[in-house]
Amino acid sequence: MESFNNQIKAIFWDNDGVLVDTEKYFFEATRQVLKKAGVNLTKELYIDLVLIQSKGAWHLLDQQEYSTEFVNNLREERDDLYQELLLTKEIRIEGVEDTVAVLAERYKMAVVTSSKPQHFYAIHSRTGLLKYFNFVITAADYARYKPDPEPYLIALERMGVSCDESIVIEDSRRGLMAAKKAGLECIIIPNEMTRTSDFSEADHVVCDIRELFQVL
């Protein structure tokens, strides 16, 4: 049976891993490109560096061997490969649209993502989900990435709501830390890339997006 928290007015959603199944493709694109430079990026290392520490993986390259131009070219190659995967691979998560459609009738909602705009809009050119959200905040809209709270602080100001009136839906530890540092409650929906992370600070952890009706 559905139950809704009357105090909550706004929901801020992470994108990759929550609304769409894309994190594994970013890992794969990064892994393939770094392999050309002799770096073996395992899934476990990626999860630690990207989804927990938010450090990225480029520092794994030998900085004395590779120039800044070479590294920048690898980044561009990674981004191009990721874009290709986003446009050709399955990215939908079962239950997302039905759940988001119901919640959009009751709450103001926004997406707060670390995705670059070109990747984000490539993803949602295929999903039809953006009509359910009041606005989107991408990596182009802030200077400091999650786990810094800046993305969520911007979202709060733009939505015109307080922390007590808002809740975050995330899938990673870096996202959880960003939400908590912004003073926000956070519900975690782990996925195959994040389920081994520490979510002890989360207010709720659910296994499936459709379980949100039980805690909101």
Residue 36 and residue 128 in one domain: no
Domain coverage including residue 68: 24-88
Residue 197, pLDDT score = 93
Are 25 and 82 in contact by the 8 Å Cβ rule? The answer is yes
186-212 mean pLDDT: 95
Sign of the torsion angle spanned by Cα atoms 79, 11, 53, 17: negative
Backbone angles phi, psi at 110, to 5 degrees: -145, 155
pLDDT value, residue 63: 63
**Domain edge (last residue) among 70, 88, 106:** 88
Q: Is residue 171 part of a domain?
A: yes
CATH number for the domain that contains residue 137: 3.40.50.1000
| 148 belongs to a structural domain | yes
Are 54 and 129 part of one and the same domain?
A: no
> Is the domain of 74 the same as that of 178?
no
Residue 153 belongs to some domain of the structure: yes
Query: Are residues 161 and 72 part of one domain?
Result: no
Question: Is there a single domain that holds both residue 77 and residue 97?
Answer: no
Query: Per the structure block, which two tokens stand in for 122?
Result: 């490539």
Domain end residue (candidates: 88, 106, 122):
88
Q: Are residues 15 and 118 in the same domain?
A: yes
| pLDDT tens-digit readout, 35-69 | 988 899 999 999 999 988 888 888 888 765 778 88
When pLDDT is averaged across residues 160-185 and rounded to a whole number, the result is 97
Q: What is the pTM of this model?
A: 0.93
Q: If pLDDT is split at 50, 70 and 90, which confidence band does 3 have?
A: very low
Per residue in 5-25, pLDDT (tens digit) is 579 999 999 999 999 999 999
Is 190 inside a domain boundary? yes
Residue 77, domain member (yes or no): yes
Contact 137, 155 (CB under 8 A): yes
- Residue at which a domain ends, from 53, 88, 123: 88
Does the residue 166 lie in any domain? yes
Q: What is the pLDDT of residue 64?
A: 59
Mean pLDDT of the chain: 93
Residues near 117 by beta carbon (within 8 Å), at least 6 away in sequence:
138, 139, 140
State mean pLDDT over 198-206: 96
* Residue 4 resides in a domain: no
Q: What is the pLDDT of residue 130?
A: 98
Residues 41, 117 within the same domain: no
pLDDT confidence band for 1 (50 / 70 / 90): very low
Instruction: Tell me what pLDDT residue 71 has.
Output: 85
Please give the pLDDT value at position 5. 58
Q: State the total domains in the chain.
A: 2
pLDDT mean over 143-167: 97
- Domain-located, residue 14: yes
81: CB partners within 8 A, 6+ apart: 29, 32, 33
Same domain for 71 and 104: no
pLDDT for position 151: 98
The reported pLDDT for the residue numbered 166 is 97
pLDDT at position 2? 42
Does one domain contain both 169 and 80? no
- Res 103 pLDDT > 90: yes
